[in-house]
Amino acid sequence: MTHTSDFTPTPDDRFTFGLWTVGNVGRDPFGEPTRSAIDAPTIVRKLAELGAYGVNLHDNDLVPINASAAERDQIVSAFKAALTETGLKVPMATTNLFGDPAFKDGAFTSADARVRAYALQKTMQSMDLGHELGAATYVLWGGREGSEVDASGKLLDALGWFRDSLNFLAEYSESQGYGYRFALEPKPNEPRADIFLPTVGSALGFIATLDKPDLFGVNPEFAHETMAGLNFVHAVAQAIDAGKLFHIDLNDQKMGRFDQDLRFGAENIKGAFLLVKLLEDNHYSGPKHFDAHALRTEDEAGVWTFARGCMQTYLILKEKARQFNADAEIQAALQAYRVEDAELSQLSEFSPENAAALKAQTFDRAALGARGPGLERIDQLTIELLLGVR
């Protein structure tokens, strides 16, 4: 029997956590914190001890929004010392444009021009900090970029303001020599009733309208697409197909619930397996970021059990993906599922002649409809693999 000790993470696995994830104190809309805050240097040292590759942060996860310049420098200095001591990296940075009351009706999409300008200022300062810490990817989650009252009439204007802000930040990054790749993080709702760019597909469509679309990709999150009843693996496949998977947030979620940010693999084992297989088969080499947190029931020991569990589950499912690819019966079923035809493939490459030949082709429609492709068997074999009986 294989044991969890055989799935010990190392920095080569490129697992990362946010300061806000393992640093979550257990507060929710109905209850106060259930555990004490952990300072950033301690988080860095503990993650390194567990085998993580890096730690990510919003600006105010590290530096309080009301900190003085001297306090900011002292906090950042202590954090950088812990990074140097442990070798932990900061692959990604982002900014909090959702917590402060100033952003209650949006940041880049606020109807108040002063708020939009402040959001740009705050983001530039956060980008400065991220670059100082070595971040190469900058994530933008528009948690307050949305609405409850569409009668306000700002929808098209808001998309324009959003576009202008992203174009501005891309120019700022280039002018400073930061070289950031920006990753938009879609989410359908919460904390706003409706958030702009709610899905991976909508974010990809919006990116095409930007001045420098090559600098922008997506940071899809398992829980966000699942909340809306969508298939996260499909969303990630679309991002890979578009060459836009710049970063990814791994967690878990029950469909239709509030944003739970559960431990990776805690609920949707088959979905998590198919996601890991998709990432590994397509050689995704970016950070694998766990944007999740321990249950509110847990103490600090439970936080580190949660973090270790996220990484171990990914590695277990990675091994399952290897077994799937090496399983002769599964591979034979997959091969039988696909029917190739060299002549028809050639005719499907357009030319006037091929179009005419394809129109003249005779197909046995009844036979095509009668064929059983064997998907039940493929799915059952997958379940048997996951349940450990293959």
**pLDDT tens digits, 281-329:** 999 999 999 999 999 999 999 999 999 999 999 999 999 999 999 999 9
Phi first, then psi: give them for residue 218, nearest 5 degrees.
-125, 155
Determine the pLDDT at residue 123: 98
Q: What is the pLDDT of residue 328?
A: 98
Q: What's the confidence (pLDDT) of residue 259? A: 94
- Confidence category of residue 212, pLDDT binned at 50, 70, 90: very high
Structure confidence at residue 58 as a pLDDT band (50, 70, 90) = very high
E strands, the chain, are 15-18, 54-58, 92-94, 137-141, 146-147, 181-185, 194-195, 216-218, 248-250, 288-290
Is residue 241 annotated as a catalytic residue, yes or no? Answer: no
pLDDT of amino acid 347: 96
Give the per-residue pLDDT at 343: 96
The candidate with the shortest Cα–Cα distance to 226, out of 206, 245, 199, is 199
Give the residue-averaged pLDDT of 147-175.
98
* pLDDT-above-90 percentage for the chain: 98
Band of residue 2 on the pLDDT scale cut at 50, 70, 90: low
Summarize the confidence of residues 330-357 as an average pLDDT. 97
User: Is 242's pLDDT higher than 60?
Assistant: yes
- Going by pLDDT thresholds of 50, 70 and 90, the confidence category of residue 3 is low
Q: CB-based contacts of 119: which residues, under 8 Å, 6+ apart? A: 97, 103, 107, 108, 110, 165
Check if 224 is active-site: no
Which of 2-11, 111-120, 285-294, 309-318 is least confident? 2-11
**pLDDT > 70? residue 4:** no
Catalytic member of 13, 61, 252, 261? 61
Q: Is the pLDDT of residue 83 over 80?
A: yes
Average pLDDT over residues 232-255: 98
Please provide the size of the chain in residues. 390
pLDDT at 6: 83
Report strand pairing: 194-195 vs 146-147: antiparallel
- Residue 5: pLDDT band by 50, 70, 90 thresholds? low
pLDDT for 160 equals 98
DSSP one-letter code for 265 = T
Paired residues of 139 in beta bridges: 183
Residue 337's alpha-carbon distances to 56, 237, 321, 363, in angstroms, are 42, 20, 19, 19
Rounded to an integer, the average pLDDT of 47-67 is 98
pLDDT of residue 169 exceeding 90: yes
Instruction: Return the axis-axis angle of helices 269-281 and 232-241, rounded to nearest 10°.
Output: 10
In whole angstroms, give the CA distance from residue 321 to residue 5: 19
59-69 pLDDT, tens digit per residue, is 999 999 999 99
Query: What is the rounded average pLDDT for all residues in the chain?
Result: 97
User: Annotated catalytic residue: which of 6, 12, 39, 58?
Assistant: 58
Distance between CA atoms of residues 169 and 161, nearest Å: 12
**CA distance linking residue 210 with residue 301, whole number of Å:** 45
Query: What pLDDT sits at residue 7?
Result: 96
